[in-house]
């Protein structure tokens, strides 16, 4: 009887998680986040949202905020955390996110994760499912270098990878109750299958 009552209480939450999914993808460059985000997008029919895409949209509006962002980027300044959070919050209130969304590259810090938690709560979304595409350093470095893109090579110097690992560790701690660890070494289809199994889709 107690078990049945508990299931009845949890049913609305489980339904919300299935019908309004919020999925965060974590993993180093080379882990295949963009590939898996697109696969999830096709399956769940929800948008993929990343900081780079939102930033491009903001700049494209040519609003005072957009002009300010362009000036900051062109001068090489780092964007303040509150600016990034405000930008993402506006994006997450757009109509196409009502049925859920996938986040690629956000949050990047525990403070951003806390901000996102509050935003999701305000919008009535369930807690996010956090997929960590696990990839060792040697494989991550090898994959990005083999792609031959200058931005990959610059962004994946060993020191930068170590910096990423520190941030990843903090985010894993923040989301420890919601983590789904997936081995990112196999080919993309095998990783996609493992994600679908872990999510129950």
Nearest one of 162, 161, 144 to 153, comparing CA atoms: 144
Average pLDDT estimate for 70-77 = 75
Are 195 and 40 in contact, with CB atoms under 8 Å apart? Answer: yes
Report which of residues 107 and 152 the model is more confident about: 107
- The predicted-structure confidence for 7-29, as pLDDT tens digits, reads as follows 455 444 444 445 789 999 999 98
CA 164 to chain centre: 14
Q: Is the model's pLDDT at 136 over the cut of 90? A: yes
Which domains are seen in the chain, by residue range?
22-49+100-199 (3.40.50.300)
Q: Encode pLDDT of 126-135 as tens digits.
A: 999 999 999 9
CA distance 78 to 68: 12
């Amino acid at each position: 009887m107690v078990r049945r009552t508990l299931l009845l209480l949890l049913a609305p939450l489980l339904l919300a998680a299935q019908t309004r999914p919020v999925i965060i993808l974590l993993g180093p460059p080379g882990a295949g986040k963009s590939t898996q985000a697109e696969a999830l997008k096709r399956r769940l029919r929800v948008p993929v949202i990343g900081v780079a895409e939102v930033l491009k949209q903001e700049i494209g509006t040519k609003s005072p905020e957009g002009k300010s962002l362009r000036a900051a980027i062109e001068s090489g300044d780092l964007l303040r955390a509150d600016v990034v959070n405000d930008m993402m919050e506006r994006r997450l209130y757009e109509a196409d996110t009502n049925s859920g969304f996938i986040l690629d590259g956000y949050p990047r810090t525990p403070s951003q994760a806390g901000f996102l938690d509050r935003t999701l709560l305000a919008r009535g979304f369930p807690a996010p499912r956090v997929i960590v595409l696990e990839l060792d350093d040697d494989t991550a470095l090898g994959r990005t270098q083999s792609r031959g893109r200058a931005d990959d090579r610059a962004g994946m110097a060993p020191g930068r990878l170590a910096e990423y690992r520190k941030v990843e560790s903090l985010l894993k701690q923040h989301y420890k109750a919601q983590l789904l660890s997936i081995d990112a070494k196999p080919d993309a289809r095998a990783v996609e299958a493992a994600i679908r199994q872990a999510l129950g889709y």
